[in-house]
Structure 1
Amino acid sequence: MLERFLPSHDAIKRSRLLRWLGPRIHDPLLWHINRRTVARGVAMGVFFGLMIPIAQIPAAAMASLLLRGNLWIAAVSTLISNPLTYGPLYYLAYRLGAGVIGTRTPPDLTPSDIEAPVRMIDSLAQAWVWVTGIGQPLLVGMLIMAVTGATLGYWGTQLFWRIKVANKRRHARRNRQSRPKVIPPGPLGSR
């Protein structure tokens, strides 16, 4: 089903944008759809989709090259975080990290406090204050969510794949058993 949306192997070989990767890009495991490579691709995509807010797709693609996961699945799986889910994901990550570290949630965040991280990047000292304040629980929460999401994505894909194959085999077996049995004719000379 997914194969029709993926580029052909020849198109990939001819691509000038991918030439710099050399022979590694031609590894068949990066492009085949099978249980192991898809599960690896989902795990890498979900990990980088939840862990880093920028350059998620290139990071997942590089990890895919190294760990031999399906490249396209890894890229698409990063879309677990998108402009619609950033707010809830980062809020949940902050709350999770604050709970793990034991940091109290700030009592009230005024609009000037919300804009503060953007202004704090001016100096390294102010950035450090932000990281030890809001940033540290956020990073811890993001790491926990990324590792948990990648693990669940990997094993969930493996389980889904096995269930799908088992159902397909069960359905084929039922079809074979429900067909009427045809008795082959006996030897030509006998009646």
Structure 2
Amino acid sequence: MPKKLLQRYIPKPETLKQHKHLKMFGDLLHNNNLWVLNRKSVPGAFAVGLFTAWIPIPFQMVLAAALAIVFKVNVPVSVALVWITNPLTMPVMFYVAYLLGASLLGVDASHFEFEASWAWIKASLTTIGPSFLLGCAVMAISWAAAGYFILRNMWKYATLMKWQRRKRR
């Protein structure tokens, strides 16, 4: 696995421990398992990050950090993966989640007009809300499982290749 590449781009533990939103976790952040890059922490961190990215709430990074602490996986990787949902990708991702949820519920995914207001959100919770939330849940679980197993197998493959190169020498 490209461990050195990941280490180059993820923030240092000291930086994250001082982050204003992560200070609430206090001494829980001092567990070294939350900061190492190994075959157990990285696939789990991918699962946590990808799962959290599909949860339609603000402050997803704080939720990703909390889940990473609970599951004892790499915090920086979990938090970084939440940024899959960004202002450019979020509308497409959440629309696909809505379409999937509507399909699973057998509901007509009718055309709707989006309006950025609390009144529209409250009114939509009963109409498109169930389809949207079901789609988000299915996508979160699917992406988390896929990310976990893909990373776990990639890590295993990279380790096998490294051992084979050592054998040849």
- Kindly tell me: are residues 82 and 15 of structure 1, through their superposed partners in 2, closer, same or farther at Cα, counting changes over 3 Å? closer
**d(CA) in 2 for partners of 1:50 and 1:28?**
27
Unaligned runs of 5+ in 2: none
Distance 1:75 1:117 in 2: 28
- Whole-angstrom CA distance in 1 between matches of 2:116 and 2:36: 46
Q: What are the ranges of 5 or more consecutive residues in structure 1 without an aligned counterpart?
A: 122-126, 177-191
Q: For the pair shown, which has the larger CA radius of gyration, 1 or 2?
A: 1
**One-letter amino acid of the counterpart of residue 133, structure 1:** T
AA of the residue aligned to 2:64: A
Mapped contact 1:117–1:130 kept (Cα < 8 A):
no
* 1:32 matches 2:36: yes
The answer to whether the 8 Å contact 1:43/1:150 transfers is yes
Equivalence for 1:97: 101
Aligned to 2:132: 138
1:41 touches 1:64 (CA, 8 Å); kept in 2? yes
Aligned residues: 164
Contact kept, 8 Å, 2:33 with 2:41, in 1: the verdict is: yes
DSSP-derived class of the 1:115 partner: coil
Overall identity of the aligned pairs, in % = 29
Q: Distance in 1 between matches of 2:15 and 2:116?
A: 45
Query: Are 2:34 and 2:74, in contact at CA under 8 Å, matched by a contact in 1?
Result: yes
CA distance in 1, matches of 2:94, 2:125: 14
Q: Which residue of 2 aligns with 1:165?
A: 159
In the alignment, the residues of structure 1 paired with residue 23 and residue 107 of structure 2 have an alpha-carbon distance, to the nearest angstrom, of: 48
Root mean square deviation, CA, Å: 2.3
SS in 1 for 2:144: helix
What is the SS of the residue equivalent to 2:128? helix
CA contact (8 A) 1:13 1:26 kept: no
Give the match for residue 3 of structure 1: 7
Instruction: Give the deviation of 1:84 after TM superposition.
Output: 1.7
Change (3 A) 1:14 1:41: closer
* Cα distance in 2 between the residues matched to 1:145 and 1:14: 30
TM-score, normalisation: structure 1: 0.76
Partners of 1:13 and 1:102 in 2: CA distance: 44
Amino acid corresponding to residue 37 of structure 2 in structure 1: I
Q: 1:186 is matched with which residue?
A: none
Q: For 1:78, which of 78, 82, 89 is the aligned residue? A: 82
Give the aligned partner of residue 120 of structure 1: 120
Note the C-alpha offset of 1:40.
Answer: 1.2
Structure 1 residue 76 displacement after superposition? 0.8
Say if 2:70 is the partner of 1:66. Answer: yes
